[in-house]
Amino acid sequence: MNEETLDISQSARNKAVLNLNDVTVRFAGDSGDGMQLTGTQFTNTTALVGNDLSTLPDFPAEIRAPAGTTYGVSGFQLHFGSSDILTPGDTPDILIAMNPAALKTNLHDLKNGGTIIVNINSFDSKNLKLAGYNENPLENESLKGFNVVQVPLGQLTKTALENSGISSKEIERCKNFFALGMMYWLYSRPVEPTLKWIEQKFKNAPLIASANEKALKAGYYFGENTELFTTRYRVEPAVLPPGIYRNISGNEAVALGFITAAEKAGLPLFLGSYPITPASDILHELSKHKNFSVRTFQAEDEIAAITASIGAAFSGALAITTTSGPGVALKTEAIGLAVMTELPLVIVDVQRGGPSTGLPTKTEQSDLFQAMFGRNGEAPVAVVAASTPADCFNMALEASRIAVKYMVPVMYLSDGYLANGSEPWKIPDPDKIPAIEVKFSKEKEGFQPYSRDENLSRPWAIPGTPDLMHRIGGLEKANITGNVNYDPENHEYMVHLRAQKVKNIENDIPALEVTGDSDADLLIIGWGGTYGAITEAVNRVRSKGFKAAQAHFRYLNPFPKNTESVLKKYKYILCPELNMGQLARILRSEYLIDVQSFTKIQGLPFKSSEIEKKMYMILGGNNGRN
C-alpha cells in the first residue's frame, strides 16, 4: 500500500482521507463464509470506479471441508490501484479474517505493519482448537507488529437483522455483506452496484435480499461511525486507454473469444466437455449463449466429450473441447485421431497441479510436455498459451484461426491462475477483428481428401457435400487419396508431412517480442500466467539501475521464427515456470542454448519479489545498485 498524499478533507466524523497509489486486500474465511462472492463484488465495484486491478481467488480443494479447519479456508486477493496493475500483489496490506483458521493460514503473507480485521465472535475455544491454536492469538504477542482491528462481525450482523424475518442460520450467512460494506467505506467504494446486484440475484427471495441489503449498509455505516477506524482511504481511477471496459476472468474471456471466432468464421460453435476444475466455467458461460449458434454438450466422460467435438469438426463446426490436465490424459488417443484425420479442433487445457487428481483448485504449468509430446506415435499439434486473463480472449481467436487455416488440432494452454483471476478488459470493436476465412470443398472435379494447399492443409469436405465422400478414421492415410495405407515409405512421408504442416505455422505468427534494455546481458523469458510477475520484477530491477530484457512466449509449437536469434543475443537467460523447468528443457534441446530454470511448484503463482530476488543473484546485486 503506497502512500501518495495526505488529503486535508475529513469524513463526517472527522476522519482523515489518505490517498493511495495501490492497495492489496485479502478476504479469508470458511468456504461457507462467502469470501469468493465478497471478493468478486469488491472487484466489480473497484472496476466500475476505474481502478486497474488483478485478482487471485484461492479455493480449498475439499468440497465439504469441516468448518473452522485450516484446509477449509477460502481466500480472495485483490490488488488495485491508480496505475498499471500487473499482479494480485505479493503481500496483502490488509487481511479480513473471518475466523482463526483464516488468520493462521494467511498471516505469514501479510505485509509487516499491515492491518488485520478479525471477526472476534469466531475466536471461541472450539474454533481456536480447530485452527490448531493453543491460545488465543488476539490475547498474546503473536500479532505484535500488525494493526489489529477487532470487530464483532457476527454480533453486529445479528443486531442489524434481528427483525428481518429470516432464520439465525441465514443471518449468519449475511456477515460477509457486513464485512463488504465496511470495506466499501474504508476504501471509499460506492455500495450502489452491489445493492443492484442483490436486487437481481435474490429477486425471488425478498427477505434474503432485504437482509443482505441491510447487512451491507450496516457495515458501511459501522465504518463511518466506529472509533476503530481513524482513517479511510481513496485510490484514484487509473489512466487507461480510451474505450469501454469490463472486468473479465480468464475463463469468461476464453468463452467470449470462441464465440467471436465462430462469428468471424461464419460457423456454428460446438463445445464437447466433461466438467473438471478449473475449466468448468467455460462450459457454464458458453451454455448461456445459444443465441450465437453455440451448442454445448456435457458428455458422460472426457473421451465422449472430445470425440463428439471431432465429429462436430468433421461436420463443419468450429469445434472445441475444454478440460484440465487429467482430462487431457484421457483425451490423448482422440487427440491422435484428430491429428490423423487432420480436422480443426481446439483443446483447451486449464492447467492445475498434478499428477493424478493432484491439486484441483490450485494453479500450475505442468502440462507443457503433455501438450507437446503426450501422444502415441509422432502426433504434433499446434500449442498456444494465453498470458493474462484478458489475453485469453485473443488467444481463443488465434487458436481458432490456426486450427481452421491449417486443418490441425491446437492445444490452448491456460491455467488456474488465469482462469479464475480477473482484470479490466477493453472491449474490442467487432468490426476491427479480422474475419477467419473458411474454405469448404464443394467442387467434385479433381477432389482428393488428402491433397494439399500452399500451407499443406487438406480440404475440409463436410458430410452431405455431393460426390465428396471420403474415408475418415484413425488408420494411416495414403498421401493424396486418403485410403488406408500400410506402406513404410508412405507412413514416413505422412509423419514428416504432418510435422511440416505444424512447422509452417511459424510463417503466420508474430515474431518473439523483446522489451526492456537493448544492451542487457540478462533476458527473462516465460509463458502463460507468469507474465505479470515477470514484468513487474523486470520493471523493479530496471528502476534500480540494472539492465534486463523480457520476452514472453504465446506460441509454443511452433516457436516464433526469430526465437533462436533472440536467445543467442544474451549472456544469461532465466526462465521462471510453475513446473520443474519444462520450457527451459525444450529450449535447451531445440537450440542448444543454456537456459537457467527457476521453478516453483506450490500451487501458487510467482510473487514478483521472488523473480526479482533471483535476478539480483544473477546480476550480482542486492535489492539495488552495488
Q: What is the CATH number of the domain that holds 407?
A: 3.40.50.970
Beta strand ranges found along 339-492 (DSSP E): 345-351, 382-385, 409-415, 422-426
81, containing H or E segment: strand 73-81
Residue 35 lies in a domain: yes
Same domain for 595 and 570? yes
pLDDT of residue 154: 96
Same domain for 225 and 259? no
Same domain for 176 and 221? yes
pLDDT of residue 61: 81
Q: Is the CB of residue 191 less than 8 Å from the CB of residue 221?
A: no
Residue 67 lies in a domain: yes
Residue 175 lies in a domain: yes
Of 416, 432, 448, which marks where a domain is finished?
432
Cα→Cα distances 558→383, 501, 504, Å? 7, 10, 8
Residue 268 lies in a domain: yes
Cα→Cα distances 403→185, 371, 382, 384, Å? 49, 15, 8, 11
Same domain for 112 and 200? yes
Closest C-alpha to 611, from 517, 548, 561: 548
Same domain for 26 and 137? yes
Same domain for 265 and 179? no
Residue numbers of the chain with a pLDDT score lower than 50: 3-12, 624-626
pLDDT of residue 1: 58
CA 318 to chain CA centroid, Å, is 23
pTM assigned to the model: 0.94
Same domain for 545 and 600? yes
User: 10 Å Cβ neighbour count for 434?
Assistant: 8
Domain count, the chain: 3
Residue 428 lies in a domain: yes
Same domain for 199 and 326? no
| DSSP track, 309-345 | HHHHHHTT-EEEEEE-HHHHHHHHHHHHHHHHHT--E
pLDDT of residue 15: 82
> Which range of residues forms the domain containing residue 532?
514-619
Give the CA count within 13 Å in the CB-facing half-sphere of 451: 13
Residue 152 burial (CB < 10 Å; 0-12/13-18/19+)?
A: middle
Residue 492 lies in a domain: no
* Grid cell listed for 133: 491454536
Same domain for 375 and 250? yes
Q: Is the CB of residue 595 less than 8 Å from the CB of residue 571?
A: no
Residue 509 lies in a domain: no
Cα→Cα distances 351→285, 526, 551, 604, Å? 18, 16, 22, 12
Question: What does the chain come to in residues?
Answer: 626
Non-local CB neighbours of 87 within 8 Å, separated by 6+ positions: 54, 79, 532, 533, 536, 605, 607, 608
3-state secondary structure 246-263: EEEEHHHHHHHHHHHHHH
* Grid cell listed for 533: 510477475
Non-local CB neighbours of 373 within 8 Å, separated by 6+ positions: none
* Grid cell listed for 111: 505485509
Same domain for 219 and 339? no
Same domain for 308 and 356? yes
Of 397, 432, 467, which marks where a domain is finished?
432
User: 10 Å Cβ neighbour count for 472?
Assistant: 18
Q: What is the CATH number of the domain that holds 62?
A: 3.40.920.10
Non-local CB neighbours of 623 within 8 Å, separated by 6+ positions: 544, 616
3-state secondary structure of 152: coil
Same domain for 17 and 109? yes
Angstrom distance (rounded) from CA 458 to CA 370: 26
Closest C-alpha to 116, from 108, 129, 107, 128: 107
Angstrom distance (rounded) from CA 372 to CA 382: 8
Cα-based angle 228, 231, 236 (whole degrees, multiple of 5)? 140
Angstrom distance (rounded) from CA 385 to CA 414: 6
Which 8-state DSSP code applies to residue 138?
G
Angstrom distance (rounded) from CA 502 to CA 555: 12
Cα-based angle 61, 65, 68 (whole degrees, multiple of 5)? 120
Is the bond preceding residue 278 a cis peptide, omega within 30 degrees? yes
pLDDT of residue 8: 33
Q: What is the CATH number of the domain that holds 600?
A: 3.40.50.920
Residue 597 lies in a domain: yes
Of 386, 404, 432, which marks where a domain is finished?
432
